[in-house]
Amino acid sequence: MQTKNRQNISSGAIWEDVIGYSRAVRIGNVVEVAGTTAVDGDVVIGPGDAYEQTKFILSKIEKALQEAGASMADVVRTRMFVTNIANWEDIGRAHGEYFSTVKPVTSMLEVKALIQPELLIEIEATAILST
């Protein structure tokens, strides 16, 4: 069911229709970006490199926000799901490169696994646009 002021943003991934999700959804001045991984088509970007995966993911999130009329400066929360918490410094460094002045609230949680074993991190984001 769609609300009148809902904007669904698609990445074009085949899984969006199969699973029933959007890359991002904007309702009013709030944009939620779905869990995003370092996958481009069928290719995992930066295998074994948490820093490179994080940078690639944040660039994908930035693109989805732009499609929704938002920017990284509008991000108020990120959630990072990592398969090895020992990678926190590399992940944090990449996150800081995007958010050093924005400083959204964030969580970094270690999880048992992501959808593919080569994936080291998945990130969600919430943005709120000023009215």
Mean pLDDT of 27-47: 94
Residue 2: is its pLDDT beyond 60? no
According to the model, what pLDDT value does residue 17 have?
A: 65
97 pLDDT exceeds 70?
yes
CATH 3.30.1330.40 fits 6-128, yes or no: yes
The pLDDT assigned to 116 comes to 94
Quote the pLDDT of residue 114.
Answer: 96
pLDDT cut 90: percent of the chain above it? 79
Q: Side chain identity at 57, as an amino acid letter?
A: I
Q: Where are the domains of the chain?
A: 6-128
Checking if the pLDDT of 1 tops 60, the result is no
Measured CA to CA in angstroms, residue 73 lies from 39, 49, 86, 117, 127 at distances of 24, 26, 28, 32, 8
Determine the pLDDT at residue 8.
85
Looking at per-residue pLDDT, the higher value among 63 and 12 belongs to 63
Q: Supply 122's token pair.
A: 């998945």
